[in-house]
């Protein structure tokens, strides 16, 4: 039986070197081809297709704002960078960018839907969207919309939107609307109504505030009936066992100061009520 014949060591080394060189050449050709693809004008992005919500901006405006930030061709364009470029366009909340062969980008847009105005002294007026996010856009775009005004600490917009959604239906049942909702740095809430009335709600989460307003709305007609349905001017709901109200148009006269007890009696314009 013949013995297997092995290649000499120098031949085996030559074959190994040849294989390594061939692999290196192939890799170099591949890298060169990839480099050519990333720079070739043949694969330039020739069109951008916009889909989704486009109501606050025109197609031309979106393209004019985003295109300068797009770099590279069909193969080399950074899709995450492209997404950020489209999301930097006013009113665009979210963008999804994908390649479509041979030279097109398809962009699906989601726009902000304004829920409130956001007032902050240090940064000027901004807007709050339906997700409770503060964003910057031209406030004049919503001047025809009856949006409430929120003012509170940075980062509290989502909580304030939740409180507004809890409270607004309750005040609507009283035939009034919330003009503005404020949250102090100490966590105290205040509501200004379109009737001109001011409601101090105190501290608490939206459900707690809602419970106070529900009790208030249930018993206020009984208080108002005593004063011929005079409109509400002010209410303080911060008390645990009742509330204080001031009614507009009811005359106020100081009680005679003949005795300490007489001077301590409240004026006719203010009354308290236990719910």
| Tens digits of residue pLDDT in 121-134 | 777 789 999 999 99
Give the C-alpha separation, 60 to 62, whole Å: 6
Q: Among candidates 32, 43, 104, which has minimal Cα distance to 76?
A: 43
Report yes or no: 129 and 113 within 8 Å, Cβ to Cβ.
yes
Reading the block at residue 139, the tokens are 């406030």
Return the beta strands (E) in 82-124 as ranges.
92-100, 104-111, 114-118
Residue 120: half-sphere exposure toward Cβ, Cα within 13 Å:
17
Q: Where are the domains of the chain?
A: 43-111, 114-273
Q: Residue 40 carries which DSSP code?
A: -
Q: How much is the pLDDT for 90?
A: 92
Give the C-alpha separation, 251 to 216, whole Å: 23
Q: Among candidates 272, 228, 266, 273, which has minimal Cα distance to 250?
A: 228
Q: How much is the pLDDT for 259?
A: 30
Report yes or no: 111 and 54 within 8 Å, Cβ to Cβ.
yes
pLDDT digits (tens, 9 = 90+) for 41-74: 667 888 899 999 899 989 999 989 998 888 888 8
User: What global pTM score does this model have?
Assistant: 0.76
Q: Show Cβ contacts of residue 148 under 8 Å, excluding neighbours closer than 6 positions.
A: 116, 117, 164, 168, 178, 179, 180, 181
* CATH numeric code, 43-111: 3.10.20.310
Asked whether the CA dihedral 89, 91, 93, 98 is positive or negative, the reply is: negative
Q: How much is the pLDDT for 260?
A: 29
Q: Among candidates 17, 19, 15, which has minimal Cα distance to 6?
A: 15
Q: Show Cβ contacts of residue 51 under 8 Å, excluding neighbours closer than 6 positions.
A: 106, 107, 108, 109
Tally of CB atoms within 10 A around 96: 14
Q: How much is the pLDDT for 37?
A: 56
Reading the block at residue 190, the tokens are 């205040």
Report yes or no: 179 and 133 within 8 Å, Cβ to Cβ.
no
- Segments of the chain scoring below 70 in pLDDT: 1-7, 10-13, 15, 17, 22, 25-42, 223-229, 249-275
Report yes or no: 45 and 80 within 8 Å, Cβ to Cβ.
no
Give the C-alpha separation, 175 to 164, whole Å: 16
Q: How much is the pLDDT for 175?
A: 93
Q: How much is the pLDDT for 223?
A: 67
Q: Show Cβ contacts of residue 163 under 8 Å, excluding neighbours closer than 6 positions.
A: 181, 183, 189, 206, 209
Phi/psi at 222 (5° precision): -70, -35
- CATH class of the 114-273 domain in this structure: alpha beta
């Amino acid at each position: 039986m013949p013995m297997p014949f092995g290649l000499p060591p120098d031949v085996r080394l030559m074959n190994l070197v040849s294989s390594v060189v061939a692999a290196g050449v192939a890799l170099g050709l591949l890298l060169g081809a990839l480099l050519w693809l990333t720079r070739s004008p043949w694969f330039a992005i020739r069109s951008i297709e916009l889909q989704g919500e486009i109501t606050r901006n025109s197609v031309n405006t979106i393209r004019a704002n985003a295109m300068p930030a797009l770099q590279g061709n069909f193969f080399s364009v950074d899709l995450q960078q492209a997404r950020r470029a489209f999301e930097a366009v006013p009113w665009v909340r979210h963008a999804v960018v994908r390649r479509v062969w041979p030279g097109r980008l398809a962009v699906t847009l989601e726009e902000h839907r304004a829920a409130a105005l956001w007032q902050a002294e240090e940064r000027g007026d901004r807007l709050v969207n339906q997700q409770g996010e503060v964003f910057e856009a031209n406030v004049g775009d919503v001047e025809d919309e009856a949006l409430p005004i929120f003012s509170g600490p940075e980062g509290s917009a989502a909580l304030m939107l939740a409180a507004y959604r809890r409270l607004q239906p309750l005040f609507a049942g009283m035939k009034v609307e919330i003009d503005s909702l404020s949250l102090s740095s100490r966590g105290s809430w205040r509501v200004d109504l379109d009737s001109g009335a001011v409601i101090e709600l105190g501290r608490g989460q939206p459900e707690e505030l809602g419970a106070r307003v529900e009790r208030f709305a249930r018993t206020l007609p009984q208080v108002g009936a005593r004063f011929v349905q005079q409109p509400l001017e002010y209410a303080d709901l911060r008390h645990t066992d009742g509330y204080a109200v001031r009614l507009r148009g009811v005359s106020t006269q100081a009680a005679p100061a003949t005795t300490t007890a007489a001077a301590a009696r409240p004026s006719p314009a203010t009354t308290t009520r236990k719910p």
